[in-house]
Amino acid sequence: MAWTRKHLLAIQELEAAEILTLVDTAASLQEIASREIKKVPALRGKTVVNLFYESSTRTRTSFEIAGKWLSADVVNFSASASSAAKGESFVDTARNIGAMSPDVVVVRHASSGAPALLARLLPCSIVNAGDGAHEHPTQALLDLLTIREKKGHFDGLSVAIVGDIAHSRVARSNIHGMRKLGVTVTVAGPPTLIPPYTQELGCKVSYRLEDAIRDVDVIMMLRLQQERMHAGLIPSLREYSRYWGLSLEKLRAHARPDVLIMHPGPVNRGVELSPEVADGPYSVILDQVAKGVAVRMGVLLLLAGSKGAEATEPQGGAR
């Protein structure tokens, strides 16, 4: 299906066919990473601004590499080294950056809805690179691409997402995406960290790790955001790790031998994942990171590489 959207704000608003267009485009672009000259001219003359109000290693770096491999000019803005530190408001900063005529602004912000606000304020395309506990669409897309490459398809797959579901934008984007593609999703974690929306979207809920990981194709472990402990949602790190940490013994005893272990990073080794699992043969964590560049190339290309709905689609040189 042809891509017609100007922004990528949330997986929730996409149709299944649009998600597959993004995944397919990313899959086709992966080959560029193995080239001797990792650059194609598709976005020559386009400007991409990375507007990051939260710290990020993987996401910001991979958007930067993605833009550069497509020949776009990429400018990085981080809140700590800018006028935001001098008290400039988000909207003022955004308007100023908008005045410099970027083609795409990639935004990460602690407040849910910040990218949607920018989409109303700025004339350019906006990509949500994570907003509060709302969504992180490109992470879900790279997770979906990783799953499809390893399993070959989405039909009849089942995925367990384990940990702090309530505060995880990665979980929310993945749940929307997977449910739209017909994947069975089980969410698992302490009851205080399982939000009610998961059941509305048709997820199964489990309060025992051993049950959740039985017979699933993929286990997606989430990072325990340690600040949650202070909010009284879990009793202690040690208890969380004992009940919800994935060790090699639990994996061997309860999960299928062909299960994939995924994690959006950064990993708290020894908390949600034991090092033997994170680095072991079931783990596809570094595949996820590699796919991140391809997914972000695909997103930038689809948003910036066209004039969107006004354009026609002539076919080939024949006509």
Query: Which residues contribute to the site for other proteins (CB under 8 A)?
Result: 2-4, 25, 27-29, 31, 35-37, 39-42, 70, 298, 301-303, 305-309, 311-319
Q: How far is the CB of 317 from other proteins (least distance, A)?
A: 4
Q: How far is the CB of 316 from other proteins (least distance, A)?
A: 7
> Which residue number, 22 or 118, has a Cβ lying nearer to other proteins?
22
> Which residue number, 230 or 319, has a Cβ lying nearer to other proteins?
319
Q: Show the tokens assigned to 239.
A: 């208890």
Q: How far is the CB of 124 from other proteins (least distance, A)?
A: 15
Strand partners, 283: 261
**Of 153, 148, 185, 157, residue with least CA distance to 170:** 185
> Which residue number, 67 or 189, has a Cβ lying nearer to other proteins?
67
Q: What residue spans of 58-121 are helical by DSSP H?
A: 58-69, 90-98, 114-121
Q: How far is the CB of 309 from other proteins (least distance, A)?
A: 7
Q: How far is the CB of 4 from other proteins (least distance, A)?
A: 7
Cα torsion at 188, 189, 190, 194 (round to 10°)? -70
Residue with tokens 């497509």: 70
> Which residue number, 257 or 316, has a Cβ lying nearer to other proteins?
316
> Which residue number, 47 or 186, has a Cβ lying nearer to other proteins?
47
Q: Show the tokens assigned to 133.
A: 């506990």
Q: Show the tokens assigned to 76.
A: 């990085």
Q: How far is the CB of 216 from other proteins (least distance, A)?
A: 30
> Which residue number, 40 or 84, has a Cβ lying nearer to other proteins?
40
- Spatial distance between the Cα atoms of 106 and 124, rounded to a whole number of angstroms: 10
17, exposed or middle or buried, with CB in 10 Å at 0-12, 13-18, 19+?
exposed
> Which residue number, 5 or 214, has a Cβ lying nearer to other proteins?
5
Q: How far is the CB of 59 from other proteins (least distance, A)?
A: 22
Residue type, 70: L
Q: Show the tokens assigned to 282.
A: 């079931």
| Cβ atoms < 10 Å from Cβ of 71 | 14
Q: Specify whether the CB–CB gap between 199 and 205 falls below 8 A.
A: yes
Q: Specify whether the CB–CB gap between 301 and 5 falls below 8 A.
A: no
- Spatial distance between the Cα atoms of 231 and 75, rounded to a whole number of angstroms: 37
The DSSP code for 196 is T
Q: How far is the CB of 114 from other proteins (least distance, A)?
A: 25
- Spatial distance between the Cα atoms of 184 and 157, rounded to a whole number of angstroms: 6
> Which residue number, 23 or 157, has a Cβ lying nearer to other proteins?
23
